[in-house]
Amino acid sequence: MKKYKAYAKVNIFLKITGKRDNYHEIISRFMRVDNLYDELSFVSKSELDAKMNEFKIIGDFDCEVSQNTIYKAYVALKEYTKSASLEKLMQTHAIKVEKNIPAFAGLGGGSSDAATYLKMCNGVLDLGLSLNELATIGLKVGADVPFFIYGYDSANVGGIGEIVEPFEEELLKFDVYTPDVKISTPKVYTAYRENFYEPVDGFRAQELKELNSKDVLKSLSATEANDLFAPALQEYPQLKKHYRQGYFFSGSGSSFFKVQEVNSGEEK
């Protein structure tokens, strides 16, 4: 039973550039977190489960199957491909997820799971879809999904998530911790729009896009790096007691991260 890794990400910086309909447009540096990932695999269903003909996910999830990003990815893929072999695969197999990435954490766990599932199906069923096609399908599931489809170590992500440009730099190692604070991304964006709306200008956005991640983190505070940190603190004041000096806020939270310190050429 082959296992596929669905990696977490952190947002080195996240700046709002404007609005598009009901969405906020962003410019952000996404970087993969190499030591934090879920593992996905296909497992054969029992005869009873197969006869029930239901999409089955095995894993530690709080939501209904219909709300799970993996199921949403299945629906989007089925609509795009009209593949009978895809339907048969999910009639006879469940998708098993060994969850390590916390939910509601700003680490992209749900998006990464969805992207990994799409790539698994594409490979196992020989659907022949390009990464661009998979990213288009994934965008229907969530704004962060295209980044995980492309599998870059580091990328500048723009628009509402559909623009993913690889950024050549070393993959950093991070210390990540996630307080037990379940954050609603829509609530944080609403607070930003109502109380903190100040889109970054194009010149500053371009400067950030060209800076490597180490330099971004050296030159900015947590609030300066992420436009969603202040509104998240407003809506979830308990975050303040979890903040540690030198750490940065990922996405809409609640996770904090910093680059692992290096001592005498060795990682601590």
Binding residues for ATP: 102-112
Do 2 and 184 meet the contact criterion of CB atoms below 8 Å apart?
no
Query: Which pair of tokens denotes residue 203?
Result: 């010149």
Active site residue 9: yes
Catalytic residue among 38, 113, 144, 227: 144
Identity of the residue numbered 84? A
Q: For 46-130, where are the alpha helices, taking DSSP H only?
A: 47-52, 69-81, 84-92, 109-124
CA distance 117 to 73: 7
Query: Which pair of tokens denotes residue 18?
Result: 């404007």
Query: Which pair of tokens denotes residue 88?
Result: 């048969």
- Find the distance separating the first CA and the last CA of the chain, reported in whole Å: 34
> What length is written for the chain?
268
Active site residue 227: no
Identify the burial level of 64 via C-beta atoms within 10 angstroms of its C-beta, where 0-12 means exposed, 13-18 middle and 19 or more buried: exposed
Catalytic residue among 9, 15, 56, 72: 9
List binding-site positions: 102-112
Residues acting as catalytic residues: 9, 144
